[in-house]
Every structure is written in structure tokens, then in C-alpha cells.
Structure 1
Amino acid sequence: MAPRANWKGILQVAELTCPVALYTAASTSDRIAFHTINRATGHRVRREFVDSDNGKPVERDDQVKGYEISPDDYVILEPDEIAAAVPDSDKTLAVSAFVGCGEIDKVYFDKPYYLSPAQQTAAEAFALIRDGMRRKGVAALAQTVLFRRVRTVLIRAHDDGMIANTLNFDYEVRSAVEAFHDIPDLKIKGEMLDLARHIIDTKKGSFDPTAFEDRYEGALADLVKAKAEGRKIARKQPNRAGKVVDLMAALRESAGMAAKPARKPASTGTRRKSG
């Protein structure tokens, strides 16, 4: 079954237009999800909104949005007022500029989507835009209304289609200054830096997403299965790494471990005696 598009519209580059569709590229829907259960009855618990002052339930029609301007003082916004603030959408993903593929800091990346032609007749125009960007090594910056907001999207060629990443707004990205404020200004050189380079060189590899396991998800699946079958799972003791006392000694040890070739498994066959 073909996936359902999250959004359909027109990709526009100057006078060139192409009907396109956005599809979710990453989702958490396959993760194990839990319900809250009443331990005494085994029934699901229902969430209910109550007045914080008198504790009485508040019906849905009496619930409105409020913005706190001072303690316990709110500006009330009606649903139609909020709806009026949503920008109008002409369903056009309008390209404003082309930038180098590595020009935008990945801290601005929000969510990835697959972008593909919305209909067969759009395939040629789509391929023209995709291959043109790929040949020039650029990505497209475009704007449109997505999910009630005007969003900036970074579009890149990807296999036979494109990847469209929504970008965080500038006010959403926190400055690194405070996070890095207490890092001392150290200049590493000499043998220590050579050892670090050696470790990095010997550990070079390539990214294979299938090689990384969500151990928490796997442990939850095992736990659910064991409980359903009436079995118990022994709790694993956490690994506690020892403190590194001497950085140079740790580097030398790590470099030695990285340089060692993997051991070949011992032969299980018996060796025949000659003669």
C-alpha cells in the first residue's frame, strides 16, 4: 500500500512548477506504547481536565486557550481568533534561493520528509529540478505553510527523489555560548594529539543505520513478552566504567587496543598425527 502524503502542493522554481507530495521520512509510531491502567480493576484510566481552584471537571466546550501575562492572569483566546492567526496557504512550496548543501548548520534541521512528484505528469519537471541541484551540488531553500505555520524547508536531491527538511526558526535554536562557557581554552599537541589521531584513523568506518540497535525498545519488547507468558526477567546490573586517572595512559592503552587485530576463533577440529 502506498504511503499517505502529509501534504500536497506545488514546488515552484521561478516560472517552473511541479506538483509534489511530502511523506514522513522518520516516525516513532512503531515504538512500544503504553496505556495507563487502574491497577485495582485492570481498566484504562481516562484523562480529565478539572478546574485548578475548585477541582470540578471542565467540559470541552468550556475549555479555551489562555496566555499567562502575570501569575494567575491570562489573556483568553477564542478558537476562531486563533484560527484567524493561521496564515493563508496557496499550497506553493516557493524556492527563494539555492545554497551549498553543507552551508546550513544541522542544528537548524527539524524533521525530514520525502518529496516526490504528486502525479506521473510531473515526473519530468521533478527530475529536471532534482538533477539540476545534484549537478550543481546545491540545496533549495523554500517556504510554505505547513501544519499552521509558515515554514522554511531545505530541499536536497536524494536517490530518485528529494529530501525536504523543515528548519527550526532562529529563536528556537539556543546559543552554544552558555553550554560551552566553562570549557577551558586548551591547545592539545605532541604525543597526545598523535595518539588521538592514531585512534581515530584505526576506528574509521561508514554509517550503517541497521548496525545500531535500540536496546531500550528491545528490552521493553522482551519484558512485555515475558510478562504475557508469566515469566520473569532477571534485572541486568549496569556497567560502571572506572575513572580515568591518567589521560596519556588511557590514550596509549586505547591506541594499543585499536592496533590489535581481531582474534581468529580457535579451531574446533582435531589435528591428525602424521605417520
Structure 2
Amino acid sequence: MAPRANWKGFLKVGELTCAVALYTAASTSERISFHTLNRKTGNRVRREFVDSETGKTVERDDQVKGYEDSNGRYIVFEPDEIAAAVPDADKMLDAESFISCDEIDDVYFDKPYYLAPADKQSNEVFNLIRNGLKKRKVAAIAETVLFRRVRKLLIRPYDRGLVASTLNFEYEVRSAKDAFSDTPNLKIEAEMLELANHIIGGKIGKFDPSKFEDRYEDALTEVVKAKIEGRKIKPQPVPEPTKVVDLMEALRQSAGMKSGEKKSKAKTAKRSATQPQKKTPTRKAG
């Protein structure tokens, strides 16, 4: 059975239009979740909104939205006043421009959705758009009203369909300068850099999400299982942090070198990994 669509509308590229549906591509619904209970009765508890001054419960009909101004005062907004800011939803996912997939900065990525044809009549146009994007190796920047907000989406070919990622606006992305302001740009010794390159080269692989392990979720599953079966819950061992005294020595050990060995071993290992082995000539039968 096909999953339930989160949104349905139309994808427009130039004069080409087809009906499409958005489906959640990533979800946390499969994670273990807990309810809050009353320890004495074992019953679930429910949340209530209370007045911060009087401590009395505020019923739903008496709850309104408020904005705190610079003076600490709250300005009350009625539901229809907030609704006035919600744009009209025309259900049109209109491609504004196309950019090279190499130009995408993933710091702007918000949430991915699968984009698929919404009906059989749209299959041909949908596949034409998908194959066109794939051939040119570009992604489309589109805009639509999604979940009561105007959203920008990046649309790329994915498998037999498309993946549409909602994008953060520039004001939502924090400046990298703030995060790295205290990070010095140090000059690294050539031998250190060569050893680091050797370590990284020895662990080059391919992106394979199937090999990712959610160790917390696995441990939580075991805790729940043990509790249900009445077994004693054993705490997870806490690994002791490794103290790095000598950075060069740590690099050499990571590269598989013994204490005191020089960088020649790293060079030899690098050459043997990158250069083809010479074949021993064989003597032809006369």
C-alpha cells in the first residue's frame, strides 16, 4: 500500500505541468517513545496550561497567541489576525531556476521529501522533467505554500522519482564566523600532514547508510526488553577518553607505525597502495 501523501499539488517547469505528491522521506516515528505516568497510580498524565501568575488552569478557549516586545510587554493576537499572514495556497510547485548539483551548500537543507506523480496521467511529464534534470546534472529551485508557510525547495532526481528538500532561509542559517571565531589557522608540519593523509587514505570507503548503527536506540530496545522480561538492567560501559600526550606519536600509532619509526613507512605504504605491482615475466615454452 502506498504511503499517505503529506501534500498534493502541481509541479511546473516552464510550460510543463504535472500533478505530484510529497511523501515524508525521513521520520523518527520508528524510534522508541515513552509516556509520562503517575508513579503512584501508573496512569498517564496530561499536560495543562496554567497562568504563570495565578497558577490557575487556562481553558483552551481562553488561550491566545502573544508576542513579547522589547519592553517585556505581551501583545495579544487573535486567530484571524495571525491567519491574515498565511499566504494563499495555490498548490503550485513552480520551478524558478536551475543550479548545478555541485553548487549546493547542504547547510541550507531542512527536511527531505519524496516527490512522485500523483496520478497515471502525470507519469509521462513527470519522467520527462526528471530525466531532463538528470541529464543536465542540475537541481530545480521551486517555491510553494507548504504547511501554511511559503517554502523554497530544492528538487533533484532520485531513484525513479525526485527528492524535494525544503531549504532554510538565509536568516535561519547562523554565520560560520561565529562558530569558528576562536579556531586558529595553524600551520601543520609536512610529516604530520602526510601521516594524516595516510590514515584517511586507509579508511576510504563508500557512503552506505545500511551500515550505520543507532547504538542508543539499540541499547534502549534492550532496556525495554529486559524490563518486560523481568531481567536486571545493566548500565552501558562508559569508554575512557584517550589522553593524547604527543600528537606526532598518536599519528604514527594510528598509521600502524611503532614508536620511533619514521615517515618512510607511511610513504612506502602509500606507494604500495597506489602503484600497481610489477608482474614477474614468464618464460614462454619453446
Indicate whether the TM-score tops 0.5: yes
Q: Deviations over 1:31-71 (max 9, x none)?
A: 11110001011011110111111111100000000000145
| Secondary structure in 2 matching 1:156 | strand
**Closer/same/farther in 2, CA of residues 71 and 58 from structure 1, 3 Å limit:** farther
Query: Which amino acid in the other structure matches residue 99 of structure 2?
Result: V
Partner of 2:227: 227
Unaligned runs of 5+ in 1: 260-275
Cα shift at 1:104: 2.1
Quick one: distance in 1 between partners of 2:72 and 2:36? Answer: 30
Query: Which amino acid in the other structure matches residue 86 of structure 1?
Result: V
| Secondary structure in 2 matching 1:102 | helix
CA RMSD across the alignment: 1.3
Is 1:109–2:113 an aligned residue pair?
A: no
Q: TM-score, normalised by structure 2?
A: 0.88
| Secondary structure in 1 matching 2:8 | strand
Cα shift at 1:15: 1.1
Quick one: distance in 1 between partners of 2:136 and 2:187? Answer: 38
| Secondary structure in 2 matching 1:36 | coil
Unaligned runs of 5+ in 2: 258-265, 270-286
| Secondary structure in 1 matching 2:26 | coil
Query: Which amino acid in the other structure matches residue 37 of structure 1?
Result: L
Quick one: distance in 2 between partners of 1:234 and 1:22? Answer: 43
Q: Deviations over 1:159-205 (max 9, x none)?
A: 11000000001111000101101111212241111111111111001
Q: How many residues align?
A: 259
Quick one: distance in 2 between partners of 1:49 and 1:148? Answer: 25
| Secondary structure in 1 matching 2:187 | coil
Q: TM-score, normalised by structure 1?
A: 0.91
| Secondary structure in 1 matching 2:199 | helix
Partner of 1:267: none
**Closer/same/farther in 2, CA of residues 72 and 50 from structure 1, 3 Å limit:** farther
Quick one: distance in 2 between partners of 1:156 and 1:187? Answer: 39
Q: Once the two structures are aligned, what percentage of the paired residues are identical?
A: 67
Partner of 2:86: 86
The ranges of structure 1 where at least 4 consecutive aligned residues each deviate by more than 6 angstroms after the TM superposition are none
Quick one: distance in 1 between partners of 2:70 and 2:10? Answer: 44
Matches within 5 A, 1:199-218: 199-218=199-218
**Closer/same/farther in 2, CA of residues 182 and 72 from structure 1, 3 Å limit:** closer
Quick one: distance in 1 between partners of 2:15 and 2:189? Answer: 55
Q: Deviations over 1:5-34 (max 9, x none)?
A: 001111001111111110000000111111
